[in-house]
Structure 1
Amino acid sequence: MSQRRVDHEVVIVGAGFGGMGAGIEFKRLGVDDIAILEREDDLGGTWHVNHYPGLAVDIASVTYSYSFEPNPYWSRLFAPGAELKRYAEHVADKYDLRRHMEFGAVVERADWDEAKECWAVRTADGTVRTARYLVTATGFLSQPHTPDFPGIDTFAGDIIHTTAWPDGYDFGGKRAAVIGTGATAVQLIPEIARTARELTVFQRTPIWVVPKIDFPIPRPVQHLFARIPLAQKAARAVNTSLLEALMVFGVLHYRQAKPGNRLAALLAKTHMRLQVRDEAIRRALTPHYDFGCKRPTFSNTYFRVFNQPTVHLETATIDSVVPGGIVLADGRRVDVDTLVLATGFNLWDVNFPAFTIVGRDGRDLGKWWREGRFQAYEGISVPKFPNFLTLNSPYSYSGLSYFTTIEGQMKHIARLFGEMRRRGATRFEVTERANAEFLDRATRNLASSVFYAGDCSTSRSYYFNQHGEATLLRPNATLTTLYEQANFPVSDYVYS
Structure 2
Amino acid sequence: MTAQHEAVIIGAGFGGMGAAIQLDRLGIRDYVILDREAGLGGTWHVNRYPGLAVDIASVTYSYSFEPNPNWSRLFAPGEELKRYAEHVATKYDLRRRMRFGTTVTSARWDETAQRWLVTVDGGEPLSARYLFTATGFLSQPKTPDIPGMDTFAGKIIHSADWDDSYSLDGKRAAIIGTGATAVQLIPELAAKVKELTVYQRTPIWVVPKVDTPIPRPVRRLFARFPGVQRAARLVNSAALETLSTVGVLHYRQARLAAKGAELLARAHLFAQVRDAETRRKLTPGYSFGCKRPTFSNSYFRTFNQPHVRLRTSSIELIRPHGITTADGTTTDIDLLVLATGFDLWETNFPAVEIVGRDGRDLGKWWRDTRFQAYEGVTMPRFPNLVSLNSPYSYTGLSYFWTIEAQMKHIARLFGEMRRRGATTFEVTEQANADFLARMTRRLEDSVFYRGNCATARSYYFNPHGEASLLRPVPVVTGNRDARRFPLDDYAFTGSATTTPADPRSRVGTQ
TM-score, normalised relative to structure 1: 0.99
| TM-aligned CA deviation for residue 332 of structure 1 | 1.5
1:307 is paired with a residue whose SS is coil
Q: Do residues 414 (structure 1) and 411 (structure 2) align?
A: yes
Q: How does 1:10-21 map to 2 (within 5 A)?
A: 10-21=7-18
| TM-aligned CA deviation for residue 325 of structure 1 | 0.8
Q: Tell me the distance in 2 between the aligned counterparts of 1:479 and 1:455.
A: 28
Q: Which residue of structure 1 lines up, in the alignment, with residue 459 of structure 2?
A: 462
| TM-aligned CA deviation for residue 126 of structure 1 | 4.1
Q: Do residues 62 (structure 1) and 54 (structure 2) align?
A: no
Q: Tell me the distance in 2 between the aligned counterparts of 1:446 and 1:372.
A: 18
Q: Which residue of structure 2 lines up, in the alignment, with residue 405 of structure 1?
A: 402
Q: Which residue of structure 2 lines up, in the alignment, with residue 235 of structure 1?
A: 232
Q: How does 1:216-227 map to 2 (within 5 A)?
A: 216-227=213-224
AA aligned opposite 1:53: P
Q: Do residues 122 (structure 1) and 134 (structure 2) align?
A: no
Q: Which residue of structure 1 lines up, in the alignment, with residue 98 of structure 2?
A: 101
Q: Tell me the distance in 1 between the aligned counterparts of 2:453 and 2:95.
A: 43
Contact 1:369 1:375 in 2 (8 A): yes
Q: Which residue of structure 2 lines up, in the alignment, with residue 384 of structure 1?
A: 381
2:191 is paired with a residue whose SS is helix
**Residue deviations 1:367-386 (CA, integer Å, cap 9, x gap):** 11011100000000000000
Q: Do residues 483 (structure 1) and 484 (structure 2) align?
A: no
Contact 1:59 1:78 in 2 (8 A): yes
Q: Which residue of structure 2 lines up, in the alignment, with residue 30 of structure 1?
A: 27
Q: How does 1:196-345 map to 2 (within 5 A)?
A: 196-345=193-342
Q: Aligned match of 2:107 in 107, 110, 113?
A: 110
**Residue deviations 1:137-182 (CA, integer Å, cap 9, x gap):** 0000000000110110000000000011011432111110000000
1:201 is paired with a residue whose SS is strand
AA aligned opposite 2:376: G
1:43 is paired with a residue whose SS is coil
| TM-aligned CA deviation for residue 20 of structure 1 | 0.1
Contact 1:6 1:132 in 2 (8 A): no
Q: Tell me the distance in 1 between the aligned counterparts of 2:394 and 2:17.
A: 17
AA aligned opposite 1:157: G
| TM-aligned CA deviation for residue 230 of structure 1 | 1.2
Mean CA deviation greater in 254-263 or 229-238: 229-238
| TM-aligned CA deviation for residue 234 of structure 1 | 1.0
Q: Tell me the distance in 1 between the aligned counterparts of 2:462 and 2:97.
A: 34
Q: Tell me the distance in 2 between the aligned counterparts of 1:349 and 1:35.
A: 27
**Residue deviations 1:190-228 (CA, integer Å, cap 9, x gap):** 000001110000000000000000000000000001111
| TM-aligned CA deviation for residue 486 of structure 1 | 1.1
Q: Which residue of structure 2 lines up, in the alignment, with residue 77 of structure 1?
A: 74
AA aligned opposite 2:380: P
AA aligned opposite 1:409: Q
Q: CA RMSD in A?
A: 0.8
Q: Tell me the distance in 1 between the aligned counterparts of 2:166 and 2:286.
A: 35
Q: Do residues 90 (structure 1) and 93 (structure 2) align?
A: no
**Residue deviations 1:405-439 (CA, integer Å, cap 9, x gap):** 00000000000000001000000000001000000
Q: How does 1:165-180 map to 2 (within 5 A)?
A: 165-180=162-177
Structure 1 residue ranges (4+ consecutive) displaced by more than 4 angstroms after TM superposition:
none
Contact 2:179 2:339 in 1 (8 A): yes
Contact 1:18 1:406 in 2 (8 A): yes
Q: Tell me the distance in 2 between the aligned counterparts of 1:468 and 1:95.
A: 40
Q: Aligned match of 1:352 in 346, 349, 352?
A: 349
Q: Tell me the distance in 1 between the aligned counterparts of 2:10 and 2:27.
A: 20
Q: Tell me the distance in 2 between the aligned counterparts of 1:381 and 1:48.
A: 27
Q: Tell me the distance in 2 between the aligned counterparts of 1:402 and 1:168.
A: 31
1:42 is paired with a residue whose SS is coil
| TM-aligned CA deviation for residue 84 of structure 1 | 0.3
AA aligned opposite 1:427: T
| TM-aligned CA deviation for residue 6 of structure 1 | 6.5
Q: Tell me the distance in 1 between the aligned counterparts of 2:319 and 2:367.
A: 35
| TM-aligned CA deviation for residue 69 of structure 1 | 0.1
Identity %: 67
2:310 is paired with a residue whose SS is strand
| TM-aligned CA deviation for residue 331 of structure 1 | 1.8
AA aligned opposite 1:78: F
Task: Give the number of equivalent residue pairs.
Answer: 492
Mean CA deviation greater in 161-170 or 340-349: 161-170
Q: Tell me the distance in 2 between the aligned counterparts of 1:217 and 1:266.
A: 29
Contact 2:58 2:71 in 1 (8 A): yes
Q: Aligned match of 1:394 in 391, 396, 412?
A: 391
1:195 is paired with a residue whose SS is coil
AA aligned opposite 1:113: D
1:347 is paired with a residue whose SS is coil
**Unmatched tracts of structure 1, length 5 or more:** none
**Residue deviations 1:433-454 (CA, integer Å, cap 9, x gap):** 1000000000000000000011
TM-score, normalised relative to structure 2: 0.96
Contact 2:3 2:125 in 1 (8 A): no
Q: Tell me the distance in 2 between the aligned counterparts of 1:44 and 1:168.
A: 22
